[in-house]
Structure 1
Amino acid sequence: MAVDLSVEFCGLKLENPFVLAPSPSTDQLDLLIEAFDAGWAGAVLKTVAVDSSVVSRVFPLVMRIEQSGAFIGLQNIDLVSEHSVEFMEQMVVTLKNRFPNKVVIPSIMASTKEDWQSLTKRFVAAGADIIECSIWCPHGAEWGLCTKVQDPVGTEQIARWVKEAAGDVPVVIKLSAQDSDIIATAVAVERGGADGVCAINTIKSITGVNLDTLIPYPNVAGVSTYGGLSGPALKPIALRCTAEIAQNVDLDIASSGGITTWQDGAEFLLLGASTLQICTAVLRFGIGIIQELRAGLESWMEEKGFQSITEVIGRSLPYLVEHSQLPRGIQVVSQIQSELCNGCRSCLTACRTGGNNAIIWREGFPQVIMNKCIGCGICRAMCFEKAITLVRPSGAVNTSKIQF
């Protein structure tokens, strides 16, 4: 069965849902050419302002964030592109001439109606397929290139300004998970006439503190600042935002935040995304990651019987309900698979400190006291070997089709 990876986004057809997010990778023409040749469907250029040169770079720009040696994200203190608007216009022209079927998306940032509309008109004239608006940034707002807070009223106004200037060219508004009500802001985007949203921007963060010097990271000549968190740590938040937006507004969604594998991408599509913007994974693994992303998604779709991306988008949304609508009275208990258990005792500790003290240690192996287990799942959550499953106790009504 042939699988079609193409997707409709804001009225445009993309050959697949994978798009480069605005980043250092999309600020270099040679890398963009390499990416399009490799199979990326499009790219969002690094954000540009009317006068990007007002912000001079500081170094280092990026810090790794890890937990127990595992990579969980990056924090960056980079801001807008240092390239001029003229340079970025020419980049759009060059890319569209060479790759007419790829989607080229300038990302713009401004603080006045005149600047929002001026940038929009210039990039539309250069041949941009979509205009993406970066209204709020997690750091550096004091430079005056973006708003300090993304609120529904201001966002609606900017969406209307930009759409007015863009004409038939689609407009996408980038949203922040730090918004107190991202649904209200998405609704405001819809009222403002924009065609889609990108969710989410990086999240304002601090990487950590050097316990020897007492200076937070990154250390820039003895001082530090807040930055934007990206990477795997953002995935649960970005998934939530994608689903909430999809359930409440009729806008196309470009999801961004923590997408590293094709499995991640499939989850975002199932929760309502149409396209997938990727940055941190590209910085880690290179432009060539697109081959694995496309092949993995295509293989999964074949296995599940999906013939097109359209059949995947939003497929999991009906399973998301309000907490009050969750089924009550279904009892489950933990079951430990001895062949997978490595004897780390994590389940024992978790059950004693946060569960119902239903796990005992006997002859070098954890055992569940069935009449004490309430099925909370804390032990399963703490088991890195995936040796614990939740099952219906013997004698319960058959629910073999339910996966706990």
Structure 2
Amino acid sequence: MESLTLRASPSTAAPLRRVPGRRHAAVSVRASAGSGEPDLSVRVNGLKMPNPFVIGSGPPGTNYTVMKRAFDEGWGGVIAKTVSLDAEKVINVTPRYARLRADPNGSTKSPIIGWQNIELISDRPLETMLNEFKQLKKEYPDRILIGSIMEEYNKAAWHELIERVEESGVDALEINFSCPHGMPERKMGAAVGQDCDLLEEVCGWINEKATVPVWAKMTPNITDITKPARISLKSGCEGVSAINTIMSVMGINLKTLRPEPCVEGYSTPGGYSARAVHPIALAKVMQIARMMKEEFADGQSLSAIGGVETGNDAAEFILLGADTVQVCTGVMMHGYGLVKKLCAELQDFMRQHNFSSIEDFRGASLPYFTTHTDLVHRQREAINQRKAIRKGLESDKDWTGDGFVKETESMVSN
């Protein structure tokens, strides 16, 4: 696959600052041949990361203490939990998580394969979060901190939120167009991401104001995920992130007959994540990557999300064209030290194939997706060729002098 990015040497590429309303190309670093260990570093939209692993927006990026821990452990970047102007409207409930285990009997020793949450965006005051962003950037000036933002259907509010978050020193913005369960009545989250006309309007507001790279986070709860991704990129976003959680009902407690997670006897559909969603996320990322390759030449970036717990999970996303790989639920289950395992396993994969950099294999599997009709045609052709080899010559008139030996061999049974 041809790269979706423009390349520049690490010494000349500078962090991206943009003129509001204009798109900018992503820039990737390519490791030099013979550099020893596989190089995991990436440069996306001008932002250099030591590896492609990014903390996804959610509980693992909810305050200064946990984001600092992420940087200390070695994560390539951190996307903070989503903020809005008025945190007083955000009221969480407990319990707000539910788990699906591989054992149908629900043994507590059985592996967790699915995770559901009904958690809202950050309930901490915006000013508190911004002060912590500033402190983090002061202590880790060379690390990538991305602010996740979501606001009501109000241009002035979006502009105020963008200005205030950018002033805190974040390196980029991820726009939450995809939260499946929080405050849709205020046209927030997936209520925007599922309405392409509304999405185009709001993206216009955002990109006329933002001066740092903007990633639009996509909802999978839509028929064709390429439609909102295309609109986001055409409206000026430098990249897209996919996928957010899948709308779900985790299950019913067969003893109490109440849904889970159960709050005072009641529940509400929430967002499904963890390993069970990985195949769905792969399909959505593949669809977006193909669309980007076919329709965009400006180097927009793609950040993949969904069920990543191993380096091989990440390799699959990168093979489909992802620049970075986000992890959220995986951190909630395995801790911040997971990044070391992810990096080691991804490097093992790279060694097996003699890849020296992420760019060596990014998008390499994308050309092997096609239509079912094409699969039928390809298989028919392959069967015909095999039959021809087994059958040999059909008639005495087909014998030739030059190919006599091969023609004879083609009709030998063993």
* Equivalent residue, structure 2, for 1:87: 128
What residue identity is the alignment partner of 2:76? A
Q: Aligned equivalents of 1:62 and 1:280: distance in 2?
A: 11
How far apart are residue 142 of structure 1 and its match? 4.3
What does residue 184 of structure 1 align with?
Answer: 227
Matched residue, 2:326: 277
**2:49 alignment counterpart:** 14
Runs of 4+ aligned residues of structure 1 deviating over 6 Å after TM superposition are none
Kindly indicate whether the alpha-carbon contact (under 8 Å) linking 2:40 and 2:347 is maintained by their aligned counterparts in 1: yes
Contact 1:160 1:194 in 2 (8 A): no
User: Which residue does the alignment assign to 1:123?
Assistant: 165
By how many angstroms is 1:56 displaced? 1.4
Q: CA deviation at 1:70?
A: 3.6
Could you say which residue in structure 1 is the equivalent of 2:389? none
Mapped to 2, the partners of 1:135 and 1:328 lie a distance apart of 41
1:258-286 alpha-carbon deviations (Å, 9 max, x no partner): 11110000000000110111011111111
Counterpart CA distance in 1 for 2:88 and 2:306 is 27
- The answer to which structure, 1 or 2, has the higher relative contact order (CA under 8 A, 6+ apart) is 2
Q: Is 1:159–2:203 an aligned residue pair?
A: yes
For structure 2, the 5+ residue unaligned runs are 1-35, 104-109, 384-409
CA drift of 1:206 comes to 0.5
Residues 1:107 and 2:132 are matched in the alignment:
no
Q: Distance in 2 between matches of 1:101 and 1:156?
A: 33
CA contact (8 A) 2:233 2:240 kept: no
2:246 matched residue in structure 1 = 203
- Verify: 1:75 aligned to 2:126, yes or no: no
Map Cα deviations across residues 203-227 of structure 1 (whole Å, 9 max, x no partner): 1110101112211111101111111
Report the equivalent of 1:34. 69
Q: How far 1:303 sits from its partner (Å)? A: 2.1
Letter in 1 for 2:174: E
The amino acid across from 1:11 in the alignment is: G
Q: Of 312, 328, 339, which aligns to 2:379?
A: 328
Distance of 1:19 and 1:154 partners within structure 2: 28
> What is the rounded CA distance, in whole Å, between the counterparts of 1:240 and 1:226 in structure 2?
23
Compute the displacement of 1:307 (Å): 1.0
Judge conservation of contact 1:52–1:82 (CA < 8 Å) in 2. yes
Aligned-partner Cα distance in 2 for 1:209–1:166: 44
1:235 and 2:270 aligned: no
Contact in 2 for aligned 1:74/1:280 (Cα 8 Å): yes
Q: 1:286 — aligned with what? A: 335
Rounded Cα–Cα distance in structure 2 between residues aligned with 1:107 and 1:60: 24
Q: Aligned partners of 1:28 and 1:72: how far apart in 2? A: 27
Residue 255 of structure 2 corresponds to which residue in structure 1? Answer: 212
Q: Distance in 1 between matches of 2:64 and 2:256?
A: 40
**Cα distance in 2 between the residues matched to 1:310 and 1:132:** 23
Q: Distance in 2 between matches of 1:233 and 1:130?
A: 29
State the alpha-carbon separation in 1 of the partners of residues 55 and 171 from structure 2: 14
Cα distance per residue 1:304-338 (max 9 Å; x no partner) = 1111111121111111112222221357xxxxxxx
Return the alpha-carbon distance in structure 1 between the equivalents of residues 132 and 97 of structure 2.
25
Amino acid corresponding to residue 145 of structure 2 in structure 1: V
Whichever residue aligns with residue 147 of structure 2, its letter is: P
Please list the CA deviations of residues 42-69 of structure 1 after superposition, one character each: whole Å capped at 9, or x if unmatched. 1110011111221211110111112324
CA distance in 2, matches of 1:140, 1:2: 44
Unaligned runs of 5+ in 1: 332-395, 398-404
- Give the total of aligned pairs: 333
Instruction: Supply the distance in 2 between the matched residues of 1:180 and 1:11 (Cα, whole angstroms).
Output: 32
CA contact (8 A) 1:109 1:145 kept: no
Q: Which residue of 2 aligns with 1:302?
A: 351
Instruction: Give 2:326's aligned amino acid.
Output: Q
Distance across 2 between alignment mates of 1:99 and 1:145:
35
Q: 1:156 Cα deviation (Å)?
A: 2.0
Which residue does 1:43 correspond to in 2? 78
Deviation at 1:143, TM superposition (A): 5.5
TM-score (normalised: structure 2): 0.77
Distance 1:83 1:126 in 2: 16
SS in structure 2 at match of 1:16: coil
Mapped partners of 2:165, 2:182: distance in 1: 24
